[in-house]
């Protein structure tokens, strides 16, 4: 069964450093998403991406964040200068059309 994959599973970084979180969505999906979940809290929408551009973004997704689909398979989330409060689980999701979103296993980002 096809699934969304994410790497790395755990990323530790120093405050102010750049991180890139990687995702491989399900191969025939057209819509891509990033969500985050701070420990013990609910899952929050960050950004959606379709047709090689951002469709929608939340207030959390400020200028420090960017997304890219550099090739036909990868979808990345970059945080330019990490802050302590960026520590969270980051989930990638994809959907074929604008309905059921399938989530990856997540990347745990720890900012020290």
Partner 1 sequence: GESVGLHLPTLSVQEGDNSIINCAYSNSASDYFIWYKQESGKGPQFIIDIRSNMDKRQGQRVTVLLNKTVKHLSLQIAATQPGDSAVYFCAENKSGGATNKLIFGTGTLLAVQP
Residues found in the chain: 112
Distance between CA atoms of 36 and 18, rounded to whole angstroms? 17
Q: Residue 71 pairs with which residues in a beta bridge?
A: none
Q: Which of 41, 73, 74, 110 binds partner 1 (CB under 8 A)?
A: 41
- Residue whose C-alpha is closest to residue 2's, from 69, 71, 73: 73
- Residue 42 lies near partner 1 (rule: CB under 8 A): yes
User: Which one of 13-21, 64-72, 73-81, 104-112 is the stretch in contact with partner 1 (CB under 8 A)?
Assistant: 104-112
Residues that bind partner 1 (CB under 8 A): 4, 31, 33, 35, 38-45, 48-50, 55-56, 58, 85, 91, 95, 98-106
């Amino acid at each position: 069964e096809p699934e969304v994959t994410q790497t790395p599973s755990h990323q530790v970084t120093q405050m102010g450093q750049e991180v890139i979180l990687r995702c491989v969505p399900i191969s025939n999906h057209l819509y891509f998403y990033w969500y985050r979940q701070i420990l013990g809290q609910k899952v929050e929408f960050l950004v959606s991406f379709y047709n090689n551009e951002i469709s929608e973004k939340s207030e959390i997704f400020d200028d420090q964040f960017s997304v890219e689909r550099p090739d036909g398979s990868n979808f990345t989330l970059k945080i330019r200068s990490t802050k302590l409060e960026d520590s969270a689980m980051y989930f990638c999701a994809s959907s074929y059309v604008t309905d059921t979103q399938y989530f990856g296993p997540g990347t745990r980002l720890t900012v020290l």
